[in-house]
Amino acid sequence: MSVTSRTSGVAILRILLVLVIAASLALTASAQPATPRRGGTIVVLIGGDPPLLNPHFSTLPWVSMISMAVYDTLVVLDPNMKALPGLAESWTVSPDLKTYRFRLAPGVRWHDGRALTSADVKFTFEVVANKLNPNGPIAFRGLERVDAPDPRTVVVQFAQPHPAFLLYLGWPITGAVLPKHIYEGTEIRQNPTNVRPIGSGPFRFVEWQKGQFMRVSDRQLGGNR
């Protein structure tokens, strides 16, 4: 075969390859809807039936899966473990790493319609996360106090530098904010909300048939982020 014929053969193969790719892309594009379709149902398999759904009292991964949908944390962590805004729209950290001041996002509501305020964060950190959560001695090591000077401001003060505090706040097992009006004055570990959670996250708890399934749904409440 001459050089010319081999060159022509290669050119033909390249043209055919381009045509095949173009046809494939065209079929893919035609299969996609013109605009994104909202709504629907997704089914996720979990590893077992959890004992409860309060992330402060369980480190089981399937409890965390539900918690991340139902509850909010002050910050969220990106793949590089960088803290991004969650319930807190902004924050400052003192140079000595002892004082963390958070500004809560406006208009956040619990799934029962009550407004979420700094009092909920203060209660969660001081009463639940610090004292009842088995991870509290590490996540809230050296906690002196939590102040709520106004409904949208939370100030957390430590006795010693706590450089990893934002990382702990980004995980539901140490940072999920609980509703004070539901838990205060109760036996917190036995509160029925531990199996029927009321959070402020993007999904609200709907139903739990033990040993079968749990169902959550988009919150469908106005006035939230």
Please tell me whether residue 216 adopts helix, strand or coil conformation: strand
> Cα torsion for 60, 44, 213, 68, to the nearest 10°?
50
Torsion over CA: 44, 46, 49, 51 (sign): negative
CB atoms within 10 A of CB 43: 5
* Chain segment 90-144, per-residue pLDDT in tens: 999 999 999 999 999 999 999 999 999 999 999 999 999 999 999 999 999 999 9
Per CATH, the architecture of 55-218 is what? Answer: Alpha-Beta Complex (3.90)
* Chain segment 150-169, per-residue pLDDT in tens: 999 999 999 999 999 999 99
Domain extents for the chain?
55-218
Task: Pull the structure tokens for residue 83.
Answer: 């803290």
Selection from 120, 107, 112 nearest residue 74 by Cα: 120
Cβ burial of 27 (10 Å; 0-12, 13-18, 19+) is: exposed
